[in-house]
Amino acid sequence: MSSPATDVVRLLTVRGETLAAAESLTGGLVAAEITSVPGASKAFRGSVTAYATELKHRVLGVEEALLERRGAVDAQVAAQMAAGVRTALGADWGIATTGVAGPDEQDGQPVGTVFVAVQGPLSADSGAFGGGKVASLRLNGDRAEIRMESVRSVLALLLQQLASEQTENERAQDTEQNGGF
């Protein structure tokens, strides 16, 4: 059985697409998981570990007002991190993790509060982002378990978005081949 990271690298390589990661609570674990896969260099552009809140704004382009208002542990912050790393590293797909691994709460959020996000390529047809998604998680366990589950969750979310986009593309091709019906 293959791992989610193996599946991500395989799918992106077949599609000729690339990936970048923005990490906070996972501190580079997402990048380590992806780069443990042989051939990852064909699809993985790199990562930014923006552990400090001001780096989320300065390097990833997360709105400063949002960070001041909501803190770093927020769904919108995760979405902006994914979009920001995608742009900064020139990738087709951006993924992001932000949350509280413990031992103490952060920004008023309890330990185990995690947000993972995926931002996909711009759809040429609609001009909208395809594959944009944020998941809100409430994880149990110690610090290491929360961080590893965050890695698994962001890769699973990416795989879900890749599969969803594939299904939409196949449907569009079927419609086109059947004269638009």
Residue 1 reports pLDDT greater than 80 = no
Q: Hunting for tokens 């909208």 — which residue is that?
A: 128
- Residue 125 has what pLDDT? 45
pLDDT tens for residues 43-71?
Answer: 999 999 999 999 999 999 999 999 999 99
Asked whether 86 and 93 are in contact (CB, 8 A), the reply is: yes
pLDDT tens for residues 4-40?
Answer: 999 999 999 999 999 999 999 999 999 999 999 999 9
Cα dihedral across residues 2, 117, 82, 143: positive or negative: negative
Helix, strand, coil fractions of the chain, as percent rounded to 5? 45, 20, 35
41 burial level (CB within 10 Å; 0-12, 13-18, 19+): exposed
- Residue 165 has what pLDDT? 74
More confident position, 2 or 22:
22
pLDDT tens for residues 64-100?
Answer: 999 999 999 999 999 999 999 999 999 999 999 999 9
C-alpha pair distances (Å), 37 with each of 73, 126, 171: 29, 34, 31
Could you give the angle at which helices 143-177 and 4-15 cross, rounded to 10 degrees? 30
Sheet holding 93-99, edge to edge: 44-49, 19-23, 93-99, 113-119, 133-138
- Residue 130 has what pLDDT? 54
pLDDT tens for residues 122-131?
Answer: 644 444 445 5
- Residue 175 has what pLDDT? 47
Q: Which CATH number fits domain 4-177: 3.30.300.30, 3.90.950.20, 3.30.360.30, 3.20.20.70?
A: 3.90.950.20
Side chain identity, residue 153: S
